[in-house]
Structure 1
Amino acid sequence: MDKLKIKADFTKYIEVFLQKNAKLNLISKNDEKLLFEKHIYDSLGIKLFFEKYNITAGDILDIGCGGGFPCVPIAIEFPEFNVTGLDSIRKKINAINEIKEELMLTNLTTICDRVENIKNKKFDVITSRAVADLSKICEYALPLLKAGGYFAAYKSRKAQEEIRNAIKVLAKNNAKIDEIITYTLPLDEVFERNLIIISKQP
């Protein structure tokens, strides 16, 4: 991914986010210095998945969206997707709603609730980043996934260990690991990230 082009595209978002963060502490002060490198760029790792699997539109659910990662960067970068950010903490959802209004993101909606209470809708793609271990999040995510849909879980270097622990819940939900997409964040030290791609069988 072109770091400089992406950063230019997200200048306004960075400005607005930092204003909100000063009041709400959505991410730590130390992380503010690396907002683009650690949070925005990481969120856009999903672009590698979209391109490889030729996914060009659909309904996306981001479980445990927190301060808006990855749902807000996805909504900015991919206006053709309908993105829903889900989190149970009201102040975080309120912050995302304010960012949404300032950036005029008409393709982004939010839900303030626990994931286990979401039962009325199925999604084409579900994401989660820094939420829970894979087996736990799969229990909640996979029932909300359309048949033929994908769950993209952002994970660290422990991805293989988490996959081993998730085998039973994957089988229970008729899902399988398609692959792990690995990418590196633009930091001074080597910082690998893994996007675990799980498909739900028709």
Structure 2
Amino acid sequence: MIKNNSLQGWKKLGGGGLFALEHGAIVGTSVVDSVNTFLVTEKEYGDFVLELDVMIESELSNSGIQTRSHFGGSQHAGKVYGRQMEIDPSNRKWTGGIYDEERRGWLYPLTLNVPAKEAFTVGKYNHVKIECIGDEMKTWINHVPAAYLKDPVDRTGLIGLQVHAAGDVEKPGTKVYFKNIRIKTTGLVPEKMSAQIHVVDTGSSGKL
């Protein structure tokens, strides 16, 4: 997903956060006076398996990875919206949970899967896997199952990387790093999760 040592195939949407390519990694930097900023794929995706490595510098930071998401419209002018796999290095430790950006809010908080809260490490690269096949979205952090959601909303959309708005909690200038980004769209075989993993099913309406 990094072509010709450039950000070809990606575009920035939303706020004024910064994205740059450094040593093979996409680096996002938060800035003051900005809403959430996203580097999104120019192409939309339906069914896919996304794997990448993510590092975030500070516990006073936040990020996420958008899946099957969209931009703008009458209800979301100037903003990216859709399902996001949360990157949360705070004491809450909800990395791997699923949040519906600018729309329905939390769909799968990690209160539903407490053991997964310990899978992510701040200040180091962590392996992330996101599977979106049919109406199911599953996430893994460092090969630990984190979230399992069944939701009929959005069958296609953009994949995006978030730089969170700087504010009272997030300090401006903090960075998040994304590398080894791989998106597979053919020959997909859903990975099974343990029967012990709680499943959230929003039903045919997409409402909780």
TM-score between the two structures when normalised by the length of structure 1: 0.29
TM-score, normalisation: structure 2: 0.28
Structure number having the greater helix percentage: 1
By relative contact order (CA 8 Å, sep 6+), the higher-ranking structure is 2
